[in-house]
Structure 1
């Protein structure tokens, strides 16, 4: 028994005659008759009674046809699924992002992506860069955005975004009137810093040490949104990327250029053990456009 024989049998059952089935299949009527004879030998029982040049299905044929129809419905389901995956993707996209981009750039990319893929369900988690890396490396998430201090073992990575840090100061703070805040301005100043393992914090520490500038670090945090909220409360000043500040309430925070420049870099990371799906490729395009 093979698929050609099953398709011929189903065509005869649907069409009622061998000649119509032959037209449907694009073959000759003798070919249909030979294929039916082969199938009957294969299954071991008669499928049709030949009555007055007509093929009349036997009770056994009707029973068999029920299962054939069920099988063809399954094939139709598979075809529909394949078409849906081709046109809309796998139906789910899992994204993890560091805080600095998770409240602004990534939502903007998701909005653009959803216009092209309205049926794809997106999961977005905003986490520490280390947690983002672990979720992507384990294959639990499809795409990650993380700071450049992460261990890139086990992930495919590329540079995503580099922006010079801005100085965030509370409204009414003396530094709010400066056109540019300099490193010297931070000496003795209450300062909200990222944790020591943060790469941009390390760059700032090196710069300040070279200039003998010692700010008063009052709070350390891993999240840009937390740093911004602390500055808004007047706890101190801090450095933040423009991308991170974009999605936050700026009514109580003033952003000023900072010199010398302290770059804040992020990476786009993917699982290293599997190829990118079409929806992942499309989402990466949306991320690149959102930059």
Structure 2
């Protein structure tokens, strides 16, 4: 059996005649009749009785059409599914992000993405970098954003962004009037100590050692947003990732430049050995756009 034969048979059954079937398919009536005759020979039974130039379906023809109709419905579903996948991807996107980017930057990208793809269901989880990596490595999530310090074995990864370290200072602190904070300014100052990765911690300690500076660590903190909250309460001075600051209430602290230049490095991670769906590529485009215009304004600048 050939598809053109089945198509001709279905057209006659749905339209009621060979002439109308020919109009539907854009062929001649003899071509329709020829296809029906060929199909009947291959099936071994008559599909139509020819009565006074009319084609009347036989009992066998009606039974066969039920199967053909089911086939066409299944094909229509497959075509609809292909269209949906082509236009909207798999219909679901799962994103995991570390806290510093999951507070503002990634949600902003998700909001813009949903405006462009309103039918896509997006899941966003904000976790530690190691948890992000595990969610992506196991294939539970489509992509993740994490810090460079974690073990990136078992995931595909690429550089996403470098964020220059800034200082957050209580607004009523004498250092709040400075334009730039340097290691020497922090000697014996109460320091809200962020849990830096190994590279960044080493670089910062080297900057302190070069000027023989010894800040007083008063609180150890895991997230930059928590450092900002503590600075607002006057608990101390912090050195943080600026990506975590947009969206926070800055009425209680100032954001100042810190020198020397030190960077927080962030990566995108993907499940290993899996091609990236169009949906993921579309979101990455939105994410890059948000990253590029997501600049933090420091005070006294």
Q: Partner residue of 1:281?
A: 281
Looking at structure 1, the residues matched to 219 and 202 of structure 2 have their Cα atoms a distance apart, in angstroms, of 16
Unaligned runs of 5+ in 2: 292-301
Q: Partner residue of 2:238?
A: 238
- Structure 1 SS opposite 2:269: strand
Q: 1:263 offset after TM fit, Å?
A: 1.3
Q: Partner residue of 2:79?
A: 79
Superposed CA deviations along residues 173-226 of structure 1, whole A, max 9, x for unmatched, are 222122211111222222222225454333212322333222222333332222
- Structure 2 SS opposite 1:193: strand
Q: Does the aligned pair in 2 maintain the 1:148–1:199 contact within 8 Å?
A: no
Q: Partner residue of 2:127?
A: 127
Q: Partner residue of 2:65?
A: 65
Superposed CA deviations along residues 52-111 of structure 1, whole A, max 9, x for unmatched, are 121100122223222322322222222222222222332111111111111111122122
Q: Partner residue of 1:268?
A: 268
The alignment covers a number of residue pairs equal to 291
Superposed CA deviations along residues 103-127 of structure 1, whole A, max 9, x for unmatched, are 1111221222122111111111111
Unaligned runs of 5+ in 1: none
Q: Does 1:93 align with 2:108?
A: no
CA-atom RMSD, angstroms? 2.0
Runs of 4+ deviating beyond 6 Å: none
Q: Partner residue of 2:298?
A: none
Looking at structure 2, the residues matched to 141 and 193 of structure 1 have their Cα atoms a distance apart, in angstroms, of 31
**More displaced, 270-279 or 119-128?**
270-279
- Structure 2 SS opposite 1:261: coil
After TM superposition, the score normalised by the length of structure 2 is 0.89
**More displaced, 116-125 or 211-220?**
211-220
Q: Partner residue of 1:220?
A: 220
After TM superposition, the score normalised by the length of structure 1 is 0.91
**More displaced, 179-188 or 202-211?**
202-211
Looking at structure 1, the residues matched to 261 and 187 of structure 2 have their Cα atoms a distance apart, in angstroms, of 17
